[in-house]
Structure 1
Amino acid sequence: MNTIRRYLYGQILSAVSFVTLGFLALFFFFDLVDELRWVNQGSYHITQALMYVGLAIPSHLYELFPITVLIGTIFVMANLAQSSEFTILRTSGLGPWRALGTLLTLGLAFVLTTFAVGDYLAPAAERAGQLMKARYQGRLTTGQTGAWMKERQAYSSYAVNIARMRPDGGMQKIRIFEFDPQGHLVSMTRAETGRFNQDDSWQLENVQRSEFPNDERSSARIDQRKLPELRWPTQITAEMASAALLKPDRMRTIDLFEYIQHLDANGQSAQSYEIEFWRKVFYPLSCLVMVVLALPFAYLHFRSGGIATYVFGGVMAGISFFLLNNVFGYIGNLQNWVPWVVAAAPGLIYSLMSLAAFGWLVLRR
């Protein structure tokens, strides 16, 4: 049995690796063509473009790995069925449930690989790529107004705006609006630059602070002052600021969870981030769905040249899974569905379909 397992694993790993490299090469080419528009603007040249596109590869690997697992496994299973090798393996003791268990064991290895890439390698590479690009283009920003965040403290609430992030992790063009419990504007602080301290605070530099007294006698007065530095205590961390500037699907799971807790604590909607969090939890498990979906192809009877049709059908089924996954995310966000149900539903649906196909093609026939 160990010989059969090593043979299957070797065939599947070779096929999955080949398909993955092919897809990554294709996406590398597309990204490079798209990135050429920024080349020779300032100090951003073709070398930096190649580095930036290369650092995007782990993100593409995370997105593509389940579908490359499906394509590679379907190809191996269908090829073994066409050459009658799988029939020989069945007569050697590879029953349906043992075959399913063998593939699920390999699927667990794919799950761990997908989780490691998506939670450690891809976020680190994405941040390094963004900071490298910002180093040569001068800034990291989103939209025209930057990132907006909100925080509640003991006696005040704050609306915070960061226009840009510097390549070294600092902030530029910071605005902090302070409100009292009644919602009146108390003060407005502007800072040219700022950095994150280790003691839950920001160190602001070149500060202009305007205070608006709320008592009736001074309602028309605005107190203004300029400060070279100002320490502002806050629970907004560098990861939260990066989350507001970067895409949530590029964050680590733990950072995304902490950002959701921050949004909830400050009365902000976290629906889209909660859906993305649960998608990151369930997404690696889609590799198990893919290997179960591929197993019935080993029990089909192929005519000469008919393997391509079945492989194409399996690939379309895999693509439909990812389309359904995205559609559920958008609809769940619009309809305010339970986030973990939105994230888990596509996987559960296709798992039931895969097991139904396995039961019909394998156990009953």
Structure 2
Amino acid sequence: MRILTRYVLREFLVPLVYCLVGFLGIYVLFELFDSFNRILEAKPPVATVAAFFAGYISPYLEWLIPAALLLAALYTMWNFCRHSEITAMRASGITFLIIVRPLLAVAAVLAVAVTLINEFYAPWASERARDLREARFKEVSDKAFEDIPFYNQPAGRVWRINRMSAANPNLLEGVRLSCDRPDGSRLVDITGSKAEYLDGMWWFFYPKYQYFDELNNPIENPTPTVAAMPLRAFPDLDERPRDFLLMNKAWEYYTVRDMYHYLATHPHLTRSEVASKTFDIHARLAAPFSCLIITLFAIPAGVATG
């Protein structure tokens, strides 16, 4: 790495770290005013408190990081111009692109970091922070969901689940599955004490069947031999455990992949709902680019003010 590159990088990273730490400190301080008494009462481990604040801050990083880049780039370029360093560098035959390349490289790295945080960390970490706050900072060993409905409209199937655990979503307790014909009439109701997702398919334990004719009148089971089986696999069911978990998540805790999957499996949404959710997807995808755009804006602005 060239000496000039190291110098520009150092002059840029110092104010960047100061700005970012300052912004994060403000957010932590405001949240601490609200949560301090709860933390004192619960006396959670330090790791739990750190995880809470990390999860609380994570959704805001897509705004805080570009803001820190803006201020740091403005200050760096202003400081260079104030001391005529830009003029000296240009007089030495160094192009302006080489001078600002470290700033753009840092912005690109942080843009990738924002992308990874938004997709792989912020959704579940911020949800865990919310759960900790609601539980008054007491760890919940097994978070369970009850009375979960799930409608797979393209396949004509309705699931009703009595209970499922967030720690083990592959196991469903008290399952009722209703399958409809293409014309909308009921084909069969399948109930089971539990269902488990194993080897890429659903297995029902002690299933019971109720078939219907085209007029929705109950009829006898056409396959009594199959009905007597205590365990049966259903390879045609394409629902996955995460589909049911998403029904219990707020939209803000979805990843981009979850958002796309939700739209694909819910074609009955209104146009306004689809437009709103599509906007959220595009906003999530566009957030990392703000790091680069705002840095490109700050560089000439800092030179002009200097």
Kindly state the Cα deviation for residue 172 of structure 1 after the two structures are TM-superposed. Answer: 5.7
CA distance in 1, matches of 2:211, 2:53: 50
- Greater shift, 12-21 or 270-279, is seen at 270-279
**What are the Cα deviations for residues 44-97 of structure 1, in whole angstroms up to 9, with x where unaligned?**
764486255144044443453222222322232334344444444444445545
Greater length-normalized contact order (CA 8 Å, ≥ 6 residues apart):
2
- Over 3 Å counting, the alpha-carbon distance change for 1:246 and 1:16 in structure 2 is farther
Question: Hey, what does 2:200 align to over in structure 1?
Answer: 199
Query: Residue in 1 aligned with 2:8?
Result: 8
CA displacement at 1:213 relative to structure 2: 2.1
TM-score (norm. length: structure 2): 0.69
For 1:242, which of 245, 248, 255 is the aligned residue? 245
Taking structure 1 as reference, are residues 102 and 18 closer, same or farther at Cα in structure 2, changes over 3 Å only? closer
Instruction: Find the partner of 1:152 among 141, 151, 154.
Output: 154
Alignment of 1:38-117 (within 5 A): 46-47=44-45, 50=49, 52-56=51-55, 57-99=57-99, 101-117=101-117
Q: Which runs of 5+ in 1 are unaligned?
A: 303-365
- CA 1:20–1:162 in structure 2 vs 1: closer, same or farther (change >3 Å)? farther
- Matched ranges for 1:1-365 at <5 A: 2-34=2-34, 46-47=44-45, 50=49, 52-56=51-55, 57-99=57-99, 101-123=101-123, 125-126=125-126, 136=140, 139=143, 148-153=150-155, 157-161=156-160, 165-170=164-169, 171=172, 175-188=176-189, 194-201=195-202, 203=203, 211=210, 213-214=212-213, 219=217, 231-233=233-235, 234-248=237-251, 250-263=253-266, 271-301=275-305
Identify if the C-alpha distance between structure 1 residues 89 and 205 changes in structure 2 by more than 3 Å, giving closer, same or farther: farther
- Whether the 8 Å contact between 1:126 and 1:250 is mirrored in structure 2 is yes
Kindly provide the CA deviation profile for residues 234-284 of structure 1, in whole angstroms up to 9, marking residues without a partner as x.
2222333333333455444445444444446xx656544443433333321
More helix by share: 1
Q: Secondary structure at the match of 1:245?
A: coil
8 Å contact kept, 2:148–2:244: no
Q: Distance in 2 between matches of 1:230 and 1:28?
A: 52
Structure 1 range deviating more: 91-100 or 17-26: 91-100
**Shift of the alpha carbon at 1:20?**
2.0
How far apart in 1 are the matches of 2:189 and 2:127? 31
Count of aligned pairs between the two proteins: 289
**1:7 deviation in Å?**
1.8
The aligned amino acid for 2:248 is: L
Matched residue SS, 2:239:
coil
Q: Does the CA contact (< 8 Å) of 2:190 and 2:209 recur in 1?
A: yes
State the alpha-carbon separation in 1 of the partners of residues 288 and 257 from structure 2. Answer: 15
Helix, strand or coil for the counterpart of 2:183? coil
CA gap of 1:96–1:64, structure 2 versus 1, over 3 A, is same
2: distance between equivalents of 1:147 and 1:49?
A: 32
Q: What percentage of aligned pairs have identical amino acids?
A: 16
Change (3 A) 1:243 1:145: same
- CA distance in structure 1 between the partners assigned to 2:167 and 2:23 by the alignment: 33
What is the CA deviation profile of residues 267-309 of structure 1, one whole-angstrom value per residue up to 9, with x for unaligned ones? 656544443433333321211111011112322346xxxxxxx
Letter in 2 for 1:245: N
Could you tell me the TM-score, scaled by structure 1's length?
A: 0.60
Structure 1: distance between partners of 2:174 and 2:38: 24
